[in-house]
Amino acid sequence: MIRGILFDLDGVLVDTAKFHFLAWQRMAGELGIAFGHDENEQLKGVSRRASLEKILAWGGQTLPEPEMERWMATKNAWYLEYVTTMTSADVLPGATEFLRSAREAGYRIALGSASKNALPILELVGILNLFDATVDGNDVTASKPDPSVFLEGARKLNLEPHECLVVEDAAAGIEAALCAGMLALGLGTPEALPKAHRVLPDLQDQDPRSLVADLEARAAAIAHAGAEGAAAERLAASAHAAAATHFPADGAATPNTHLPS
């Protein structure tokens, strides 16, 4: 039974992806590396260092550690410049209402973000007080799809992983949630998030209790189909083994006196 909901930050609660994009694009421009929306998509949920490493790899470049540090600091300074313009109006559609009604419905709420800037951003847009626990890029070093950020969130909420639902906008985040043994609600398109238990465009007009019930039913149906598939595979394997016993692969087939004629 789901008792806690873990929320990603960028792309789920606030649209900071556009600011990450502007800052990385500015850096890539200075390094002479092409950087567009397709590349930015691949950085969602990915830590700052891992993002820099990917951009450099796309440009066929490597940098010594002090230069890496310098670019990460510069990119973050640009990002913070853009982000400080945010207000409560920048919370994504339906997110604040969903957080409030999920709390009222008795779910424990945590943040599971790769961003080291997550807490000041939540404070800036006025929703930090709606969280029972927060885990961000300062608490865990491994990037999504590593499940650490969500496992730590469950631990802080005092819940087992199977009692948690993750809300994510990035494929790497959905992977992380599944890897943690949690239910995964994707925000975006089914094409971009094919592994999520369900995908919605946003959290607008969603009732947490009904949504959780629907996701639990989908997960149960997937588990049931998986169990049936495994049983069918076991049956096919034992039939194959029996046939191999009676008709050896070397072609010297012996009549099977045990099978009905």
Residue ranges in contact with Mg ion by CB under 5 A = 8, 10-11, 45, 169-170
Q: Whole-number minimum distance, CB 75 to ligand B16, in Å?
A: 7
Q: Whole-number minimum distance, CB 168 to Mg ion, in Å?
A: 6
Give whichever of 192 and 216 is closer to ligand B16, judged by the CB atom.
Answer: 192
Give whichever of 146 and 169 is closer to Mg ion, judged by the CB atom.
Answer: 169
Buried b (16+ CB within 10 A) or exposed e, 88-97: eeebbebbbe
> Of 114, 120, 107, whose CA–CA distance to 135 is shortest?
114
CA distance between the termini of the chain: 51
Question: Helix, strand or coil for residue 13?
Answer: coil
Task: Pick what 137 binds: Mg ion, ligand B16, none; C-beta below 5 to 8 Å, kind-dependent.
Answer: ligand B16
CA distances from 253 to 129, 239, 245, 247, 248 (A): 74, 16, 9, 4, 6
Catalytic site residue 8?
A: yes
Task: Pick what 46 binds: Mg ion, ligand B16, none; C-beta below 5 to 8 Å, kind-dependent.
Answer: ligand B16
Q: How far apart are CA 124 and CA 85, in angstroms?
A: 9
- Binding positions for ligand B16, rule: CB under 6 A: 8-11, 20, 43-48, 51, 76, 113-117, 137, 170
Q: Whole-number minimum distance, CB 222 to ligand B16, in Å?
A: 25
> Of 40, 14, 18, 39, whose CA–CA distance to 167 is shortest?
14
Q: Whole-number minimum distance, CB 150 to ligand B16, in Å?
A: 10
Catalytic site residue 136?
A: no
> Of 204, 206, 208, whose CA–CA distance to 216 is shortest?
208
Give whichever of 41 and 132 is closer to Mg ion, judged by the CB atom.
Answer: 41
Q: Which residues are catalytic?
A: 8, 10
